[in-house]
Amino acid sequence: MRILILGGDGYLGWPQALYFSNKGHEVFVIDSLMRRDFDFENKFDSLIPIESLETRTAAWKEKTGREIKFVIGDTRDYPLLAKVMQDFKPDAVIHFAEQRTAPYSMIDREHAVFTMDNNVIGTLNVLYAIKDFCPQCHLVKLGTMGEYGTPNIDIEEGFIDIEYKGRKDRLPYPKQPSSFYHLSKVHDSHNIMFACKIWNLRATDLNQGVVYGVETDETRMDPRLATRFDYDQIYGTVLNRFCAEAVIGYPLTIYGQGGQTRGYINIKDTVRCLEIAVMNPAAAGEYRVFNQFTETFSVNQLAEIAQKCGQELGIKVRIDHLDNPRVELEGHYYKAANTSLLKLGLQPHLLEDTVLVSIMKKALEFAGRVDKKLLDPSVNWRRTKNSLPENH
């Protein structure tokens, strides 16, 4: 198949490009490099050093003989997007090309506006490019479980059956996003669903949980193929942050009471889920939603697991509770459905101690690169003006 990956230089986009290429598909990547630009401007960095996209693709061709073509560009640049769609004629479009974190969107007005502009307008351009130049291709869009929030009822996969005043209907599941980033994802979902309805497009919206892990079979082939290890308080996932904190003797930083519960998924399962969606495409006119996670944990549970794994490595791990900078429930009901991908063949890699120990070992390898100034939260949902760490 011809697979176009938008955002194919990112934490998930790059391993996904390698995965599909290794399976024999023809892969083309578009990426604006905005994530790298953020690091450069703010003196952030991946814990694991990562190579340029040029070096990465050259190393992949050297190791496997397979070529991943790419262009540096933005989904908001419609002429560029249209040209790639016309020339490459993808069978599937994998859409990772969005500003991907809540803290970034809550820094200040400029970052909130950028998040909305980049995510919503970029996705709208993608929908028009598919309609205009490749209407039969399948859009697979990475969404987030954060669209749902933490309702006091079970979370279904995208839709809910409702009976009200004697009438029944199947409606989009009510959304309770908790940041401007999550709001941008809700807008995306509505736009995609509407485009499928009016233009007969086909789309799969993958509401993904928090991803952990930094290695896949493909990234292990060569150090030059490594993907990001984000541990900072803007882009870092909670388990990555815990691992980075543990290996430098810094306390694991839990925001608030730590009862916040979310869905989690191993990066190996993420790349497999995208493959499952691509190989089992939506029908023409169909907008479907899969909840993409394999387990649920509270932040307290993750901290306890990380503490135990640190002890196995001879590291004394402390736990510290900080004032919660976010506006969220810290103790709540959380039960979400995730059966669709399992029915289609996903065989999960679960968060066992050995898995987290391997991530912590990787953090130990690069412990000298951990910047303590990036660990504590500097973005507060309640403030009218936030700031990045002092090295901003």
Average pLDDT over residues 232-251: 95
State the pLDDT at residue 65: 98
Distance (Å, rounded) from C-alpha 20 to C-alpha 242? 30
Distance (Å, rounded) from C-alpha 292 to C-alpha 143? 9
The lowest-confidence range among 87-96, 297-306, 375-384 is 375-384
Average pLDDT over residues 173-183: 97
State the pLDDT at residue 131: 98
Contact between residue 239 and residue 359 where contact means Cβ atoms under 8 Å apart: yes
Stronger pLDDT, 388 or 111, i.e. the higher one = 111
Q: Tell me the C-alpha to C-alpha distance, in Å, between residue 301 and each of 151, 305, 334.
A: 20, 6, 14
Across the chain, mean pLDDT equals 96
Q: State the pLDDT confidence band at 369, using cuts at 50, 70 and 90.
A: very high
* Token duo for residue 116: 């909305």
Q: State the pLDDT confidence band at 392, using cuts at 50, 70 and 90.
A: very low
pLDDT tens for 57-81 read 999 999 999 999 999 999 999 999 9
Q: State the pLDDT confidence band at 390, using cuts at 50, 70 and 90.
A: low
Q: State the pLDDT confidence band at 156, using cuts at 50, 70 and 90.
A: very high
Query: Residue 97, by phi and psi: left (phi above 0), alpha (psi -120 to 50) or beta?
Result: beta
Active site residues: 144, 181, 185
H-helix segments, 68-108: 78-88, 102-105
Residue 23 predicted with pLDDT over 70: yes
Average pLDDT over residues 320-346: 97
Distance (Å, rounded) from C-alpha 113 to C-alpha 107? 11
What is the helix (H) or strand (E) element at residue 288, kind and residue range? strand 287-292
Domain map of the chain by residue range?
2-374
Q: Select from 176, 174, 125 the least CA-distant residue to 150.
A: 176
Provide the sign of the torsion angle of the four alpha carbons 299, 260, 236, 372, taken in this order.
negative
Distance linking the first and last C-alpha atoms of the chain: 43
Q: State the pLDDT confidence band at 223, using cuts at 50, 70 and 90.
A: very high
State the pLDDT at residue 384: 73
Contact between residue 7 and residue 97 where contact means Cβ atoms under 8 Å apart: yes
Residue 113 predicted with pLDDT over 60: yes
Average pLDDT over residues 25-39: 97
The CATH T-level fold of domain 2-374 is: Rossmann fold (3.40.50)
Residue 385 predicted with pLDDT over 90: no
State the pLDDT at residue 387: 78
pTM given for the model: 0.97
pLDDT tens for 78-97 read 999 999 999 999 999 999 99
Q: State the pLDDT confidence band at 353, using cuts at 50, 70 and 90.
A: confident
The lowest-confidence range among 14-23, 74-83, 84-93, 350-359 is 350-359
Provide the percentage of residues in the chain whose pLDDT is more than 70: 99
DSSP helix/strand/coil, 227: coil
